Every structure is written in structure tokens, then in C-alpha cells.
């Protein structure tokens, strides 16, 4: 597959379960759902936003934990409980005044296939299903919930020449 030019990507759309989490759904005896998010992924999402980019979450489940995490990380658009992702992704892209050609997405399972094929750059986590891996422009070395989102964000920012701006904030000035 030829390398995709990602320099014009201005929107990143994320799945949650299996991408921002390890895919496990933990339910308390009262039915309350908890999720575990990796801090490296959250930091990567902040770097993405700090670079002037837009961020969206489109997920098939509904979870207060996802809504809370999205608010903490200044996610522009959150769509929960989405059973057919592509129409919602098209609406999100339009609502954020961009195009599919300027959009990247990260997924892990069959419900993400239409989205990954629609956007300019479709990335998947290391433990994505085989069918999803076959259509990916990039397969992360890390699995979902273990820093894969950060890995992909760094890749996109580096290819766009924006990573040095992120580093400058943390490197000492001589």
C-alpha cells in the first residue's frame, strides 16, 4: 500500500473499546461500568489538540466514563452508542468543517471498517482483528489501551512536522 500523505490531517476520530481501552468491559454488581485509560494516550490527545487539531470519539457503547474522559481531554465531538458508525462519522466531519481527505481514524474491529476505508488515513491498534488490519494504512506496535493512540498521534505529528513544537515545551532552552 503506498504511503499516505498525512500532512493535511486536521481531524482524528477514535473508537473507544479496544482502542482507548484494552477492550474489557468491567461491570460492578450494580451494573456500573468502569474503564481504564492509559495516560500516554491522554497525553497524546492533548498534544494533538495543542497542535491545533480536532479530535472526535465515535463509539458503539454508551459510558459515563468515556464522556468524563473526553471532557478532561477537550475532545471536540463525542458520539456514544453508535451502531452504524459511517453516517455518524460523515456528520462529525461535516460539523467540524473538514473533509474525509483531511481526517484520520483509529479502530480495532469490524464496526470500524467502513470508517477506516472512508478517511484519508486509517490506523489500527496492534491487537485489531485481521480483517481490520488488512485495510489499515498503519498498524500500531502497541495494543489498544496500552499507548497505541499516543504512538499513532506521534507518527502523524512527526510526519506533519509538528512534533518539534510539542517537544520545545519540555526541552530546556540553552
CATH number at residue 35: 3.40.50.1000
Which three three-digit cell numbers place residue 103? Answer: 481526517
- Structural domain includes residue 173: no
Residue 133 to residue 124: CA distance in whole angstroms? 6
- Structural domain includes residue 35: yes
- Structural domain includes residue 3: no
78-91 pLDDT, tens per residue? 999 999 999 999 99
Q: How many domains does the chain have?
A: 1
- Structural domain includes residue 163: yes
Structural domain of 57: 11-168
- Structural domain includes residue 131: yes
pLDDT at position 173 over 80: no
Contact 60, 80 (CB under 8 A): no
Instruction: Please report how many Cα atoms fall inside a 13 Å half-sphere around the Cα of residue 92, on the Cβ side.
Output: 31
Which three three-digit cell numbers place residue 83? Answer: 451502531
pLDDT at position 53 over 90: yes
- Structural domain includes residue 6: no
Helix axes 148-159, 39-50, angle to 10 degrees: 30
For the chain, the average pLDDT equals 94
Which of these ranges, 74-78, 120-124, 169-173, has the smallest mean pLDDT?
Answer: 169-173
134-147 pLDDT, tens per residue? 999 999 999 999 99
Burial of 141 from C-beta contacts in 10 A (0-12 / 13-18 / 19+): exposed
Amino acid at each position: 500500500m503506498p504511503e499516505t500523505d498525512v500532512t493535511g490531517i486536521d481531524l482524528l476520530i477514535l473508537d473507544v473499546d479496544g482502542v482507548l481501552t484494552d477492550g474489557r468491559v468491567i461491570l460492578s454488581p450494580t451494573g456500573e461500568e468502569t474503564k481504564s485509560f492509559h495516560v500516554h494516550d491522554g497525553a497524546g490527545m492533548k498534544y494533538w489538540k495543542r497542535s491545533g487539531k480536532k479530535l472526535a470519539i465515535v463509539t458503539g457503547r454508551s459510558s459515563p466514563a468515556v464522556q468524563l474522559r473526553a471532557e478532561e481531554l477537550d475532545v471536540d465531538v463525542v458520539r456514544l452508542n453508535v451502531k452504524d458508525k459511517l453516517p455518524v462519522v460523515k456528520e462529525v466531519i461535516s460539523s467540524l468543517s473538514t473533509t474525509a481527505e483531511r481526517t484520520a481514524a483509529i479502530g480495532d474491529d469490524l464496526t470500524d471498517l467502513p470508517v477506516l476505508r472512508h478517511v484519508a488515513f486509517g490506523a489500527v491498534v496492534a491487537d485489531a482483528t485481521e480483517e481490520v488490519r488488512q485495510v489499515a494504512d498503519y498498524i500500531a506496535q502497541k495494543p489498544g489501551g496500552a499507548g497505541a493512540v499516543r504512538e499513532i498521534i506521534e507518527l502523524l505529528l512527526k510526519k506533519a512536522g509538528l512534533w518539534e513544537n510539542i517537544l520545545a515545551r519540555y526541552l530546556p532552552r540553552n
